[in-house]
């Protein structure tokens, strides 16, 4: 929302009628400090409130099967039936008749009711042998509170859509509505609309101020739907414009042209001891096409666990080598960087490609020596961790930067790596992820990336079998696990907690002790979790990789990690506590050798969503299907939180239902930036200011400021 300097929007909450300094502090805890804040604090849902009716008239209309009803009156009697499941009955009279209010399993309601109390009861009413009964109705005590003050009560209400706000114990939704109501019209009139009138008319969008008014106080469902569409579209358009600006800024920079040829391609593919799949070859061709242009590549390579992304990335890095340039690959952990070094060195054995590893654990002199070699061009491929981002590192000619496990790095870190090219050209950027990204998300925070997908897994990849077990049968899992270990194999055991808590979840240390003293007694076990120092975690994983350990008891810190071909069993405790994509990533840690793998998910789902997640993970190993299901079940919040830092969340837009609106916003944004790359026209000032405020820092849009 863009606002003018109109005082009403800047008015402090504490100066409003009935608030004052003390209550203003309670509002501030909800980030509500001004009228503008109240206006931006949109309802998260709307409830239909029925018009009040007289009891006598309602008694003639309520059918035996029941109907919704709202009645106002005075409590004339209260009766409590004690027992294990107490029942509270209150009789409400409005002078024309009475309604029996019945509350089950709510002993605290006893203290709420007393004869003489006035209020409104709303809920499902049924006709019972000549009287009306409402079970567990919603009760609203009136401010007047007593029959003597009934004359001062608000007038009988009409049917309406009532806004429900995120609130607190001290600041209720009703209080927020009551505070905003008298200010709503003048506050909405003060909003400046960043979209030109002609643009709004083209898309049948209401004025922004009208949309805010209608969202807070809709006259009907149609008006609410139109308001929601406008506000959701604004959120999506603003993001898509930021993405389009970022793409345009990147395209303005020149990159090195890395040429390929059929002969060079054959030589590169011959480096691998296996035949690349058709999808790997297609992905390589898409990347090679980008590398053959002076516009910097910004491509996302996504593929399921074990899809063979590293081979495709190495093929692209070899194109840089053949053009006399350098490449780098950045991984989130030292262990994963070391794994890349091992696999890449194996593929390049006997070649003249100079490969080096830069991590934080190297000594200062070792890091200094590597920096000298990178600057002088004595290194062709540099593999590393965040150490690649240090100020002192600079390449002679970095033409291609590869980022593995993209969701572990933010936009700013990618920009730092891009700045180290050593020449007056922008490096091509290839980012990879083993967590497939649903289409809606690919159009949002990843919207400036072209996407290549590897769906098929290598032909030699063994199947992973998934089994679900209730916690009462956990012993079976560990008996099976012990049998496999005694056959020379290894296993992961994942628990949700690092330390014990009141939630009753299994924790790393206690579960390790439990297994050492019980089902896995005598085996070589160790633990690993995120609170350990990275050096200690890496040392433990190295021992596991070298088969000095039989099993690891760990948290999800192993979700992305080193290939351990001998690990064949994955046991996940409290599986219902994990997201679908996370379970899929964990499952992908086993079966990476020739023996296949087994994932045993132990859990007791208590909700429909929980059952749906576990059944989905059991029934499919397609990471792309799982990603879509995960988004549908959990919503986009997890994806945004995990994959991109510094981005404001959507308040109205819902990526699980607004794909057509998102696609419209994307098309509009691309066309808009094509005709106005920097939004420099006078009528675009508000929109430009809004984009920079929301996304300028996260997307690195300083060049348009």
pLDDT at 646: 47
Return the domain boundaries, the chain: 1-46+165-186, 51-158, 262-292+308-433, 464-620
Give the pLDDT score at 190.
93
- Per CATH, 51-158 and 262-292+308-433 having the same topology is answered no
Tell me, what DSSP letter sits at residue 34? B
Q: What is the pLDDT, as a whole number, of residue 269?
A: 95
- 131-175 pLDDT, tens digit per residue, is 889 988 988 888 555 555 555 666 777 778 889 999 998 999 989
**CATH number for region 262-292+308-433:** 3.40.50.300
Decide if domain 1-46+165-186 falls under CATH 3.40.50. no
- Per-residue exposure over 520-552, b if at least 16 CB sit within 10 Å of its own CB, e if not: beebebbbbbeebeeeebbebbeebbeeebbbb
Question: How high is the pLDDT of residue 625?
Answer: 80
Q: Do 494 and 530 form a contact (C-beta atoms < 8 A)?
A: no
Output the CA–CA distances (angstroms, integers) from residue 698 to 465, 644, 667, 695, in the order listed. Answer: 41, 9, 22, 5
Residue 634: its pLDDT value, please?
64
Q: What local confidence, expressed as pLDDT, does residue 40 receive?
A: 94
Strand partners, 89: 79, 102
Q: Are the C-beta atoms of residues 560 and 586 closer than 8 Å to each other?
A: no
Alpha-carbon distance 542 to 267, whole Å?
Answer: 33
- Find out if CATH 2.40.50.140 is the number for domain 51-158: yes
464-620, CATH topology level:
Rossmann fold (3.40.50)
- Looking at residue 281, its pLDDT comes to 95
* pLDDT for 8: 92
Contacting residues for 458 by C-beta, under 8 A, at least 6 apart: 274, 277, 306, 307, 308
What pLDDT was estimated at residue 605? 81
Instruction: Give the pLDDT score at 5.
Output: 43
Bridge pairing between strands 428-433 and 398-403:
parallel
Note the pLDDT of residue 412. 61
3-class secondary-structure state, position 647: coil
Residues of the chain below pLDDT 70: 1-6, 143-154, 253, 391, 406-415, 439-440, 445-446, 457-461, 502, 559-562, 634-648, 703-705
């Amino acid at each position: 929302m863009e606002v003018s300097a109109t005082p009403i929007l800047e008015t402090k909450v504490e100066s409003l009628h009935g608030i004052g300094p003390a209550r203003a502090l309670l509002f501030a805890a909800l980030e509500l400090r001004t009228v503008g804040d109240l206006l931006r604090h949109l309802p998260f849902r709307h409830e239909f409130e029925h018009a009040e009716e007289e009891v006598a008239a309602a008694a003639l209309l309520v059918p035996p099967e029941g109907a919704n009803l709202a009645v106002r009156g005075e409590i004339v009697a209260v009766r409590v039936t004690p027992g294990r499941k107490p029942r509270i009955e209150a009789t409400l009279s409005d002078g024309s008749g009475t309604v029996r209010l019945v509350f089950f399993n709510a002993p605290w309601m006893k203290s709420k009711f007393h004869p003489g109390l006035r209020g409104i009861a709303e809920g499902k009413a049924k006709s019972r042998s000549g009287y009306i009964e409402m079970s567990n109705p919603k009760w609203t005590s009136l401010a007047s509170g007593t029959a003597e003050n009934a004359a001062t009560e608000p007038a009988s209400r009409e049917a309406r859509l009532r806004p429900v706000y995120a609130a607190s114990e001290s600041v209720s939704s009703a209080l927020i509505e009551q505070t905003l109501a008298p200010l709503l019209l003048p506050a909405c009139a003060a909003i400046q609309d960043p979209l030109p009138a002609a643009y709004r008319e083209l898309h049948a969008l209401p004025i922004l101020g009208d949309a805010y008014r209608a969202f807070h106080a809709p006259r009907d469902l149609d008006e609410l739907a139109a308001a929601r569409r406008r506000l959701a579209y604004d959120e999506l358009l603003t993001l898509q414009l930021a993405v389009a600006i970022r793409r345009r800024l990147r395209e303005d920079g020149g990159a090195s042209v890395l040429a390929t040829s059929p002969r060079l391609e054959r030589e590169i593919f011959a480096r691998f001891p296996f035949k690349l799949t058709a999808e790997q070859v297609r992905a390589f061709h898409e990347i090679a096409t980008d590398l053959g242009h002076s516009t910097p590549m910004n491509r996302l390579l996504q593929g399921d666990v074990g899809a063979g992304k590293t081979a495709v990335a190495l093929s692209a890095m070899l194109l840089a080598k053949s053009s006399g340039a350098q490449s780098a690959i950045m991984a989130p952990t030292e262990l994963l960087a070391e794994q890349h070094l091992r696999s890449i060195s194996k593929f390049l054995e006997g070649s003249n490609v100079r490969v080096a590893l830069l991590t934080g654990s190297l000594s200062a002199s070792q890091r200094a020596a590597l920096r000298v070699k990178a600057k002088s061009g004595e290194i062709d491929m540099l593999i590393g961790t965040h150490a690649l981002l240090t100020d002192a590192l600079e390449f002679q000619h970095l033409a291609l930067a590869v980022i593995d496990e993209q969701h572990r790095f933010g936009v700013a870190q990618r920009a730092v790596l891009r700045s180290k090219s050593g020449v007056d050209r922008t490096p091509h950027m290839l980012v990879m992820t083993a967590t497939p990204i649903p289409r809606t998300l690919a159009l949002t925070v990843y919207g400036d990336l072209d996407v290549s997908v590897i769906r098929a897994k290598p032909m030699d990849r063994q199947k992973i079998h998934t089994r679900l077990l209730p916690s009462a049968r956990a012993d079976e899992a560990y008996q099976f696990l012990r049998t496999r270990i005694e056959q020379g194999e290894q296993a992961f055991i994942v628990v949700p907690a690092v330390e014990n808590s009141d939630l009753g979840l299994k924790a790393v240390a206690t579960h390790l002790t439990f297994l050492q003293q019980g089902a896995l007694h005598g085996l070589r076990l160790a633990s690993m979790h995120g609170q350990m120092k990275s050096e200690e975690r890496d040392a433990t994983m190295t021992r596991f990789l070298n088969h000095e350990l039989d099993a690891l008891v760990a948290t999800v810190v192993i979700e992305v990690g080193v290939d351990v071909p001998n690990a064949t069993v994955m046991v996940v405790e409290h599986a219902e506590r994990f997201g679908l994509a996370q379970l899929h990533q964990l499952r992908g840690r086993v079966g990476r050798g020739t023996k296949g793998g087994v994932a045993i998910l132990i859990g007791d789902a208590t909700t429909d969503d929980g059952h749906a997640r576990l059944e989905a993970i059991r029934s499919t190993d397609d990471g792309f299907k799982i990603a879509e299901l995960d988004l549908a079940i959990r919503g986009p919040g997890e994806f945004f939180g995990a994959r991109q830092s510094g981005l404001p969340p959507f308040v109205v837009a819902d990526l699980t239902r607004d794909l057509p609106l998102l696609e419209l916003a994307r098309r509009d944004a691309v066309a808009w930036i094509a005709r106005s790359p920097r939004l420099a026209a006078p009528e675009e000032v508000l929109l430009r200011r809004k984009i920079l405020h929301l996304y300028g820092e996260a997307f690195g849009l300083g060049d348009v400021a």
